[in-house]
Structures are given as structure tokens and as C-alpha cells.
């Protein structure tokens, strides 16, 4: 722009102009990198970073609607979010991932960089699927054509899914047939091409489970084929995940969860329902909680008592203090045991769609923990976390896109619903154990110190690695006993989906898909506003609004309703 302004001034001052001077289409911009001169490794780095950003960009919406984190833009689903909330995610996909992948694939064809191209295609296919999962019909076939198609039409979601599956098949064939060198920096699999192939095949399995409502026979056949062939993510070493670092500045490459809670901001409210699900939902024969040991890795408490606070820090809606006797009637209608306002033992979060103002509660909020965001392990120290990024694992977390535990739960779901060849009970146990092992593998300097000093210190000893792992057996035994005593497959599926939701911490899109497919877990916390609670499913957000950058700039785009379902959702689940 500065060059154009200077040229215009020169023409006006001299009063002359030649075609050669003003025909800027014939000149190369010295500040721009043309596609043929781009560095393939730099392009792949950009793609990886944008895919990670895209994945994290889904969290606020999908984690909120599924009660994994608090969602509080308002008291109703219509008020909980705005179209512009999705502008960044949309731009990352259409102006970042897609053009970069297309440019890299073109370069790869010229230079024989088949591994670069295959990996990039897998990442593009994942973004394509996720866009459909969020919004439904989205532009694809006419997208990315510049001024040739200024307002691309939206393609049916089923067609975009089919294009993504074809792209995965193309990537698998390309990677299996090449001996080309991998990219210089692979933040997913560190250059292991075989694991990228495994991830691509597992994404196809994920597609089959996602679409089972509209094509049960086809989905079952695909799942049986992939599982029978044996090349899919079934071990934690194969997990499809992006790795963050501890770098704080220039650039900040830490997990967004860490930046959210360990710098100088109060941090996002955790969802009371989800914390309760791990801490208190399960009861043994004597009425004592069977606490999920992962809770110490998932959340970090800044206070030991969420009930003994000044009334000015609470926003309970139905009472000044978190008095459980003041629990609203519609909570009791769903499940009398559901939490209200805050939880015992210092778990301080918010109820679903509590859109009230923000009180001075930052120092006592429960925040993101060690897994997956690289924060603090909860060792009962109740440290104030806003310390300029000096605590815990300092942000060295992961973006858990598709893990081995997830695959076990998806396969268990498919076995119970469309009759695949798998053993749902065995996969339920396997999924829990893989998730436990994954989560408990996360350590930090602060965590190691706790291990050293806590051996003979009574209650602290319970937080150490070996005792925590011992509790896994008790937890698994409890869940399997529930499963064995379930009356029917509906109850069994509810148990599977509840454990899947717990294992999904940090991945909202898979939770959102699973909830829309099954309507489970049952009896989740309703909206805090009674008028927003409709058990018939008439008010729920079944898909996201189109971003404002799309609706306002594309003359072929029309805003949708939040009750519109995506193509693979047959409407069988009535959600609230």
C-alpha cells in the first residue's frame, strides 16, 4: 500500500505517467512470497500451528454446550454465543489451513515431497470434517478460488465429508508409496510416517462412528474392516495430538489452557457438573464418593473450601450462598444429587448457562490443571495461580485430537448401537485404563517435588503416582460392576458415554458429537434458568451459528438457526 501511495504521489507531482509505471500487475511485489518460492517446511509449520489453533478454537463452544467447561454468555442458548465468536475459527480454516495445504501440495508435486503432502492432506481432512460437525453445510468445492468465485456456495455436509474421506484415502496411498523425507518439524508424530497413516485410518473410523445414525450398516462394515485390518490408533504411543512447549514470548507456544489460568487473568470458570462427575457422582455401597483419580490432573483448586467465602463472591442465582437446600426445582426434577453453585472440597466453578456478572472470585476459582494444558497438579497446596507463567509444567501440554482411549469408547458405542464385532465391555475397561495411564503420565517439576516430600505425610501420600494408579483398579471395578448390573443396552451405553465424556477432557468437539449421537450421559445439569430448560429438546444448540465473516461477506450465505441439525444427526436425541 505504501508503494502504491508513493507512486500515485509521484504521478501527480510530475504530471506524467506511463503504462509501464502504472501497470502494477506486471510487477512482482518484493515483500510477498510467491507460492513457487515458499519453503515447504515453513508452510507445513504454518499448517500445524493453524490446525492446533483451529482445534482449540472449538473448545469454548463445544466444551460449554457439553458442560465440560462453563458456558455463560447468557442465560439461554440463543444468548450464550454470537456469530462473531466463530470468526477466528472460520478464518483460520479458510484463510489459513486450506490455502496453505493447497500451496504445499502443489509444491510437493513439483519437488517430490510426498510426505509433506500426505500429512497436510490428513490435517485438511480433519478440519473439513470438523467444520461440518460444527456448522453443517459449508463451502468447499467453490472455496479458495479468489476473485473467480467471490461468494462460494455451501456444499451439503455429506458431500464435504465424502471429500474429506477421499482426501484421507489419497493421503494414505501417498504416504504408503513414498520414501521421501518428512518435514523438518513434525509437532504431531516427530516424522513417524507410519503413525500418520495409522491416524488417517483412525479418522476414517471416527467418521464411520459419527455417521452411524444415517448409515448404520455402512458404518458397521467400515468399522469392522478397519478394526479387522489392525492399523488404527489402539495404543497411547499412537495418539494423534499436537505438542505445545514452555516458550512464553516471541512466540507464546504454550497450551492456551495455561495462558488462560497461570498468567494474570482470572481464568475460565470450570463447569460444576463436570467436576461433580469426577468427584461425587459415583457412590459406593456405603454412600461414599468413588472419586476419579484423574481429577487431580484435570483441575487445580485455589481454595480448600468453596462454601466458606464472603457472599459477594457468589453468583448462585437462587440464593446468596451456595445452600444446597436452595437448589432449583428443575435440577431436582432431573437428578436431586446434581450440584448447585459450587462443590465441596474447594471445587469452585459455575452452573450451566449462568450468565450473571463476574464477582471478585478470581483467587478462588478452580482452574485448568496439569492435563492436558501443562498447568499444576493438585497437591492440596491451594496456590494462587496468577504468577506470570512460573508454575506447574509451564504450558507444555497437548491438543488431544484423537487418542487411543477415545477410539475404544467409540468402538464400544458402535458395538452397542450398530452391532459391530467388538466387545463393548472389554473396550469400556480398556478405554478407562488407557485414559488413566495417559493422564497420569503428565508430570512437572512441582509434581516431582510432591512425590519426594509426600511419602510419609498421611493424606498427601494418596496423591502420589503409585497410590493413584492403585485407585484405578478400584475405579474400573466399580464401573464394570455398574455395567454388569445394567438392565439393558441403553443403560450400558449411558455408562460408556459417561466414561467417554470424562476421558475427553480438553476435546470438546468429540464430546459434542457424541452427545448429539446418543443424548448421553443422561441426567446432566440443566440450564440455571428454568425457562431455558426444555426436556423436549426444542431449545438446545444442535449446531453453531455461521460466523459473521461468512454471513456478512458472502452474498450466497444465509444465517441458520441453532436448532438446525447437521447432516449425520437424525434427530433421535432430544437434548437440553
Cell numbers 457438573 correspond to what residue? 273
Q: Are strands 299-300 and 138-139 parallel, antiparallel or unpaired?
A: unpaired
Q: Please answer whether residues 321 and 314 qualify as being in contact, where contact means their C-beta atoms are separated by less than 8 angstroms.
A: yes
Q: Alpha-carbon distance 467 to 448, whole Å?
A: 15
User: For position 453, what pLDDT does the model report?
Assistant: 34
User: For position 470, what pLDDT does the model report?
Assistant: 64
User: For position 10, what pLDDT does the model report?
Assistant: 30
| Mean confidence (pLDDT) of the chain | 91
DSSP H or E stretch at residue 367:
strand 367-368
Q: Alpha-carbon distance 174 to 513, whole Å?
A: 29
pTM of the model: 0.92
Beta-carbon contacts of residue 395 (< 8 Å; ≥ 6 apart): 244, 245, 246, 248, 253, 254, 255, 258, 259, 262, 373, 374, 375, 389
**Percent of the chain residues topping a pLDDT of 90:** 87
- State pLDDT tens for residues 238-265: 999 999 999 999 999 999 999 999 999 9
* Mean pLDDT lowest among 211-220, 235-244, 287-296, 426-435: 287-296
Q: Alpha-carbon distance 156 to 135, whole Å?
A: 11
- Residue by residue, DSSP assigns 538-566 as SSS--SPPPPHHHHTT-TT-----TTPPP
Instruction: Categorize the per-residue pLDDT at 304 as very low, low, confident or very high, splitting at 50, 70 and 90.
Output: very high
**pLDDT of 25 strictly over 50:** no
Q: Alpha-carbon distance 426 to 164, whole Å?
A: 31
Residue ranges of the alpha helices (H) in 346-388? none
**pLDDT of 21 strictly over 80:** no
Q: Go through 548-570 and write b for each residue having 16 or more CB atoms within 10 A of its CB, e for each that does not.
A: bbbeeebeebeebebeeebbbbe
The packing angle between helices 157-176 and 193-210, to 10°, is 160
Q: Please answer whether residues 285 and 481 qualify as being in contact, where contact means their C-beta atoms are separated by less than 8 angstroms.
A: no
DSSP H or E stretch at residue 73:
none
Mean pLDDT of the 415-428 span: 98
Instruction: Categorize the per-residue pLDDT at 7 as very low, low, confident or very high, splitting at 50, 70 and 90.
Output: very low
Q: Alpha-carbon distance 263 to 144, whole Å?
A: 38
Q: Calculate the alpha carbon distances from 304 to 377, 380, 384, 406, 551 in Å.
A: 15, 8, 12, 32, 47
- State pLDDT tens for residues 169-222: 999 999 999 999 999 999 999 999 999 999 999 999 999 999 999 999 999 999
User: What are 83's three cell numbers?
Assistant: 456469530
Q: What three-state secondary structure class fits 238? A: helix
For residue 42, how far is the Cα from the chain centroid? 25
User: For position 463, what pLDDT does the model report?
Assistant: 43
257-532 fold: 1.20.120
User: For position 147, what pLDDT does the model report?
Assistant: 87
**pLDDT of 522 strictly over 50:** yes
Mean pLDDT of the 416-422 span: 98
Q: Alpha-carbon distance 420 to 414, whole Å?
A: 6
User: For position 455, what pLDDT does the model report?
Assistant: 33
Mean pLDDT of the 278-305 span: 95
Instruction: Categorize the per-residue pLDDT at 471 as very low, low, confident or very high, splitting at 50, 70 and 90.
Output: confident
User: For position 484, what pLDDT does the model report?
Assistant: 98
**pLDDT of 532 strictly over 70:** yes
Write the Ramachandran bin of 186: left for phi over 0, alpha for psi from -120 to 50, otherwise beta: beta
**pLDDT of 108 strictly over 70:** yes
- For residue 243, list its beta bridge partners: 398
Helices (H) and strands (E) in the chain, counts: 21, 6
Q: Please answer whether residues 50 and 89 qualify as being in contact, where contact means their C-beta atoms are separated by less than 8 angstroms.
A: no
Instruction: Categorize the per-residue pLDDT at 15 as very low, low, confident or very high, splitting at 50, 70 and 90.
Output: very low
* Mean pLDDT lowest among 43-47, 145-149, 167-171, 462-466: 462-466
Instruction: Categorize the per-residue pLDDT at 446 as very low, low, confident or very high, splitting at 50, 70 and 90.
Output: confident
Neighbours of 140 (CB within 10 A): 23
- State pLDDT tens for residues 58-105: 999 999 999 999 998 899 999 999 999 999 999 999 999 999 999 999
Instruction: Categorize the per-residue pLDDT at 379 as very low, low, confident or very high, splitting at 50, 70 and 90.
Output: confident
Cell numbers 480398556 correspond to what residue? 430
| CATH number for region 36-232+544-551 | 1.25.40.390
**pLDDT of 395 strictly over 70:** yes
210 secondary structure, DSSP code: H
Q: Alpha-carbon distance 72 to 357, whole Å?
A: 10
- Short-list 122, 251, 113, 252, CA closest to 184: 113
- Short-list 399, 456, 408, 458, CA closest to 430: 408
Q: Residue 48 burial by CB count (10 A; 0-12/13-18/19+): exposed, middle or buried?
A: buried
Q: Calculate the alpha carbon distances from 71 to 60, 64, 109, 332, 346 in Å.
A: 8, 4, 45, 21, 20
Q: Alpha-carbon distance 204 to 554, whole Å?
A: 31
**pLDDT of 461 strictly over 60:** no
Query: Hey, where are the domains in the chain?
Result: 36-232+544-551, 257-532
Rg (CA), the chain: 25
Q: Are strands 367-368 and 299-300 parallel, antiparallel or unpaired?
A: antiparallel
User: What are 189's three cell numbers?
Assistant: 508424530
Q: Alpha-carbon distance 426 to 157, whole Å?
A: 34
**pLDDT of 329 strictly over 50:** yes
Q: Please answer whether residues 532 and 76 qualify as being in contact, where contact means their C-beta atoms are separated by less than 8 angstroms.
A: yes
- Short-list 6, 52, 39, CA closest to 187: 52
Half-sphere exposure of 531 (CA within 13 A, CB side): 4
Amino acid at each position: 500500500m505504501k508503494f502504491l501511495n508513493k507512486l500515485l504521489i509521484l504521478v501527480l507531482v510530475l504530471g506524467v505517467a506511463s503504462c509501464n509505471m502504472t501497470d502494477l500487475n506486471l510487477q512482482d511485489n518484493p515483500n510477498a512470497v510467491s507460492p513457487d518460492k515458499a519453503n515447504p517446511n515453513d508452510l507445513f509449520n504454518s499448517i500445524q500451528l493453524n490446525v492446533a489453533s483451529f482445534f482449540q478454537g472449538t473448545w469454548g463452544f463445544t466444551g460449554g454446550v457439553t458442560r465440560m467447561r462453563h458456558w455463560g454468555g447468557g442465560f439461554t442458548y440463543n444468548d450464550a454465543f454470537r456469530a462473531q465468536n466463530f470468526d477466528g475459527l472460520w478464518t483460520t480454516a479458510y484463510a489459513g489451513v486450506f490455502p496453505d495445504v493447497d500451496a504445499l501440495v502443489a509444491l510437493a508435486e513439483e519437488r517430490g515431497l510426498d510426505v509433506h503432502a500426505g500429512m497436510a492432506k490428513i490435517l485438511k481432512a480433519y478440519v473439513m470434517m470438523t467444520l461440518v460437525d460444527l456448522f453443517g453445510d459449508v463451502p468447499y468445492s467453490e472455496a479458495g478460488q479468489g476473485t473467480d468465485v467471490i461468494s462460494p456456495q455451501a456444499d451439503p455436509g455429506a458431500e464435504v465429508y465424502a471429500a474429506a474421506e477421499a482426501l484421507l484415502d489419497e493421503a494414505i496411498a501417498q504416504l504408503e508409496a513414498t520414501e521421501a523425507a518428512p518435514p523438518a518439524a513434525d509437532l504431531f508424530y516427530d516424522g513417524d510416517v507410519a503413525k500418520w497413516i495409522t491416524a488417517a485410518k483412525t479418522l476414517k473410523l471416527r467418521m464411520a462412528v459419527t455417521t452411524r445414525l444415517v448409515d448404520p450398516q455402512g458404518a458397521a462394515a467400515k468399522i469392522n474392516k478397519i478394526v479387522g485390518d489392525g492399523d488404527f490408533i489402539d495404543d497411547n504411543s499412537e495418539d494423534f495430538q499436537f505438542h505445545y512447549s514452555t516458550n512464553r514470548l516471541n512466540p507464546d507456544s504454550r497450551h492456551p489452557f495455561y495462558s488462560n489460568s497461570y498468567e494474570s487473568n482470572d481464568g475460565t470458570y470450570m463447569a460444576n457438573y463436570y467436576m461433580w462427575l469426577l468427584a461425587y457422582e459415583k457412590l459406593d455401597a456405603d454412600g461414599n464418593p468413588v472419586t476419579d483419580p484423574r481429577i487431580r490432573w484435570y483441575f487445580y483448586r485455589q481454595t480448600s473450601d468453596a462454601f466458606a467465602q464472603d457472599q459477594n463472591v457468589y453468583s448462585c442465582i437462587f440464593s446468596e450462598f451456595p445452600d444446597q437446600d436452595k437448589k432449583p426445582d428443575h435440577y431436582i426434577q432431573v437428578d436431586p444429587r446434581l450440584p448447585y453453585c459450587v462443590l465441596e472440597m474447594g471445587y469452585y466453578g459455575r452452573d450451566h448457562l449462568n450468565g450473571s456478572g463476574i464477582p471478585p472470585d478470581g483467587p478462588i476459582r478452580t482452574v485448568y490443571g496439569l492435563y492436558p494444558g501443562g498447568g499444576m497438579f493438585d497437591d492440596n497446596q491451594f496456590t494462587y495461580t496468577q504468577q506470570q507463567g512460573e508454575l506447574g509444567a509451564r504450558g507444555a501440554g497437548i491438543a488431544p485430537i484423537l487418542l487411543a482411549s477415545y477410539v475404544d469408547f467409540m468402538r464400544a458405542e458402535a458395538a452397542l448401537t450398530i452391532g459391530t464385532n467388538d466387545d463393548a465391555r472389554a473396550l469400556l475397561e480398556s478405554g478407562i485404563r488407557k485414559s488413566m495411564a495417559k493422564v497420569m503420565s503428565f508430570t512437572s517439576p512441582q509434581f516431582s517435588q510432591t512425590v519426594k516430600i509426600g511419602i510419609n505425610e498421611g493424606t498427601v501420600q494418596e496423591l502420589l503416582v503409585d497410590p493413584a494408579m492403585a485407585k484405578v483398579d478400584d475405579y474400573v471395578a466399580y464401573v464394570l460392576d455398574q455395567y454388569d448390573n445394567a438392565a439393558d443396552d441403553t443403560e450400558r451405553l449411558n455408562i460408556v458415554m459417561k466414561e467417554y465424556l470424562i476421558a475427553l477432557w480438553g476435546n470438546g468437539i468429540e464430546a459434542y458429537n457424541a452427545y448429539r449421537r446418543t443424548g448421553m450421559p443422561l441426567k446432566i445439569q440443566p440450564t440455571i434458568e428454568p425457562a431455558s430448560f426444555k426436556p423436549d429438546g426444542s431449545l438446545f444448540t444442535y449446531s453453531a451459528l455461521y460466523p459473521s465473516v461468512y454471513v456478512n461477506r458472502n452474498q450466497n450465505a444465509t444465517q441458520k438457526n441453532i436448532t438446525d441439525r447437521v447432516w449425520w444427526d437424525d434427530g433421535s436425541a432430544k437434548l437440553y
